[in-house]
Structures are given as C-alpha cells and as structure tokens.
C-alpha cells in the first residue's frame, strides 16, 4: 500500500495537477496520515462503491480529478466499473490486485485470495486490462508494486486522460501473507522478477496464467468522448440555448465547438 501511495504521490506531482482538486475514493481504508501527506481529499466508501461514489463526486463537481482505489475490483461493485468504462466516466481507477501466488508450494499458480480457502482456488481469475479495454476504458496498464517509476509515470499519464483509465497494481495483502509465513518483500520481489514489460501488448494476451511470465506495461491508450462530453453534445443538440453545458469552463468551449455533434 505504501508503495502505491508513494507512486500516487509521484504521479500527481509529475502530472502537475493541483492536489486540492484531487479526491481519492476507496473501499479499503487508507491511513489518515498518508492521505494528509498526499494533500488530497479522501473518502472511504462501503465495499465496492468507490467507483459509483466517485461518479457522483465527478458529476457534482467536474473540475475534480477522482481516483477510485479499489481492492477486489470485479467482485463487489464490478458493475460500476463495467458501466463506468462504457460511459467513459472521467475516473482513474487504481485496481490493487492482491491475489495469491502460492509460492509457498513452489508452484506459481494464480488464484484470487487462495489463502481464504484451505484447498486453494480453482476459478479462473479476471484479466483486468482486457476487461477494462473491452468496457471502453481509454487507458489500461498493469504494473507490480515494485515498478515504482513506471507506475508513477502511468498515474501521471492517466491523470491527463479524458475518460476512464485503469491501472492494475499487483501487490501483496500483508495481513494474509503473514499468516502463511510469506514475507511481503520477498513476494513483491517474486512478482517483479516474474514479470516482463510489454507495452502496447494486446490486452487479450495479458491474462495471468501462472505458467508464463506476468505481462506488465501500458496496454490501452485511446480517445473517446467522455460521459460529460456526450451529455453536453446531446442536450445542446436538442435543447439549444436552453441548455448550459456541464463541466469546467475550459471544457464547455469544446462542446460549443460542436465536438462529435
């Protein structure tokens, strides 16, 4: 978690975004002091609702940059991500993936939260970048928590994307690993050493199978009109002068220019 906060810090710095305008929403509690050090606003929501809560924040005040940090992205609240991508809601979703590599048994097998289950897991995990890309995200990337520079660069880049961006971060969940005597730093190292950077790889190929090396990198980087763009275009078209476009002043001008009309 600390490495993610540190990457967020560096990414925000590099992006040159006013920290006042940044809100982090998360369904996993951050340390208050960590949030203070970031200088942002922070909201901890019920499990799985960080993206939906962030959608409200963003639409209530479109000048905000909203960063939902989510744990089990595709279980509780997975639908919010799917539809956020479809609408292209302007959010930077950081998906902290802490599935368990069962290094303890010497076999690198991917499993979502295997330690909760005495006989490990047998379900196929999600390929998050592929899912994000299919749902319409304009930016998808995956890094391990040890790829600090790359992660920070991705955060910085994604903060300037107009639309839904998703960065998957492979990171161990310390509480559970301690229970099974796995040292967090060793595991991080293991992720890092077993990954291979392949930027612009088709996200369909980025599934984590356990047999091959983990593919990390930036997979998607495209442009699509955001929810607010489409909302403004549609209502301007029908209501004309009766409608005042929604959004920060700079973005309103783009609409009156007839974008995607």
Partner 1 sequence: MKANPKDVLTGIYYIDGDVASGYGALAAGCKFVAGYPITPSTEAFEAVCRRGPQVGAVFIQMEDELGSISAIVGAAWSGVKTMTITSGPGYSLMQECIGFGAMLETPFVLLNIQRGGPSTGVPTKTGQADIMQSRWGSHGDYELIALAPDSPQEMFDYTIKAFNLAEKYRCPVMIMSDECVGHMTEKVVIPEADGIEVEPRRLYTGPAEDYLPFKPEPDLVPKMAKAGDGLRLYITGLVHDERGYPVEDSAYKSKYVRRLVDKIRLNRNNIIELREEGTDDADVIVVSYGISSRVAVKGVEIAREKGIKVGTLRLVTVWPFPDDRMSELAKKARAFVVPEINYGQVVYDVARCAHGDANVVLVPHGGAGVHNPNDIADAIEMAVREEKKIEGLVEFKTRLQKSVFEGGFKLKE
Each residue 81-100 as x (binds partner 1 by CB under 8 A) or -, in order, gives -xx-----------------
Question: Considering the rule CB under 8 A, would residue 57 count as an interface residue with partner 1?
Answer: yes
Binding segment (CB under 8 A) for partner 1, from list 58-66, 97-105, 115-123, 141-149: 58-66
- Which of 8, 11, 45, 95: binder of partner 1 (CB under 8 A)? 45
**Rounded distance between C-alpha atoms, residue 151 and residue 74, angstroms:** 21
List phi, psi (to 5°) of 245. -60, 145
Question: Considering the rule CB under 8 A, would residue 229 count as an interface residue with partner 1?
Answer: no
Question: Which residues, listed in sequence order, are joined to residue 91 by a DSSP beta bridge?
Answer: 66
Task: Specify whether the CB–CB gap between 246 and 255 falls below 8 A.
Answer: no
Whichever of 25 and 154 has its CB closer to partner 1, that residue is: 25
- Which of 8, 12, 35, 159: binder of partner 1 (CB under 8 A)? 35
Task: Specify whether the CB–CB gap between 206 and 188 falls below 8 A.
Answer: no
List phi, psi (to 5°) of 193. -70, -25
Residue among 49, 185, 204, 19 at smallest CA distance from 127: 204
For the chain, how big is the Rg over CA atoms in Å? Answer: 19
Question: Considering the rule CB under 8 A, would residue 17 count as an interface residue with partner 1?
Answer: no
Whichever of 9 and 55 has its CB closer to partner 1, that residue is: 55
Question: Which residues, listed in sequence order, are joined to residue 26 by a DSSP beta bridge?
Answer: 44, 69
- For residue 137, give both structure tokens: 């995200």
- Which of 10, 162, 224, 235: binder of partner 1 (CB under 8 A)? 235
Task: Specify whether the CB–CB gap between 231 and 251 falls below 8 A.
Answer: no
Whichever of 114 and 255 has its CB closer to partner 1, that residue is: 255
Residues in the chain: 261
Whichever of 43 and 192 has its CB closer to partner 1, that residue is: 43
Question: Considering the rule CB under 8 A, would residue 153 count as an interface residue with partner 1?
Answer: no
**Rounded distance between C-alpha atoms, residue 74 and residue 251, angstroms:** 31
CB of 161 to partner 1, least distance (A): 20
3-state secondary structure 184-198: HHHHHHHHHHCEEEC
Whichever of 63 and 199 has its CB closer to partner 1, that residue is: 63
Site for partner 1 in 63-82 (CB under 8 A): 63-64, 77, 79-80, 82
Question: Considering the rule CB under 8 A, would residue 25 count as an interface residue with partner 1?
Answer: yes
The contact set with partner 1 (CB under 8 A) reads: 19-21, 23, 25, 29, 32, 35-36, 39-46, 48-49, 52-61, 63-64, 77, 79-80, 82-83, 227, 231, 235, 239, 242-244, 246
């Amino acid at each position: 978690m600390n490495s993610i906060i540190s990457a967020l810090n560096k990414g925000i710095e590099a992006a040159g975004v006013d920290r006042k305008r940044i809100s982090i929403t998360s369904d996993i509690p951050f340390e208050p002091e960590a949030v203070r050090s970031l200088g942002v606003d922070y909201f901890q929501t019920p499990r799985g609702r960080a993206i939906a809560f962030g959608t409200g924040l963003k639409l209530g005040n479109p000048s905000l940059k909203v960063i939902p940090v989510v744990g089990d992205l595709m279980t509780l609240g997975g639908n919010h991500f799917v539809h956020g991508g479809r609408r292209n809601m302007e959010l930077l979703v950081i998906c902290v993936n802490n599935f368990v590599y069962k290094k303890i048994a010497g076999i690198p097998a991917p499993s979502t939260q295997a330690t909760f289950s005495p006989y490990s897991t047998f379900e196929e995990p999600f390929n998050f970048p592929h899912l994000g890309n299919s749902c319409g995200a304009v930016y998808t990337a995956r890094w391990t928590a040890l790829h600090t520079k790359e992660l920070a660069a991705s955060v910085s880049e994604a903060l300037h994307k107009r639309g839904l961006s998703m960065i998957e971060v492979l990171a161990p969940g310390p509480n559970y690993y301690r229970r099974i005597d796995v040292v967090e730093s060793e595991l991080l190292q293991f992720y890092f050493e077993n990954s291979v950077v392949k930027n612009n790889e088709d996200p369909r190929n980025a599934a984590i199978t356990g047999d091959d090396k983990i593919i990390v990198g930036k997979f998607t980087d495209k442009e699509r009109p955001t929810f607010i763009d489409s909302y403004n275009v549609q209502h301007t078209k029908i209501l004309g002068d009766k409608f005042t476009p929604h959004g920060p002043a700079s973005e309103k001008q783009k609409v009156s220019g007839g974008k995607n009309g």
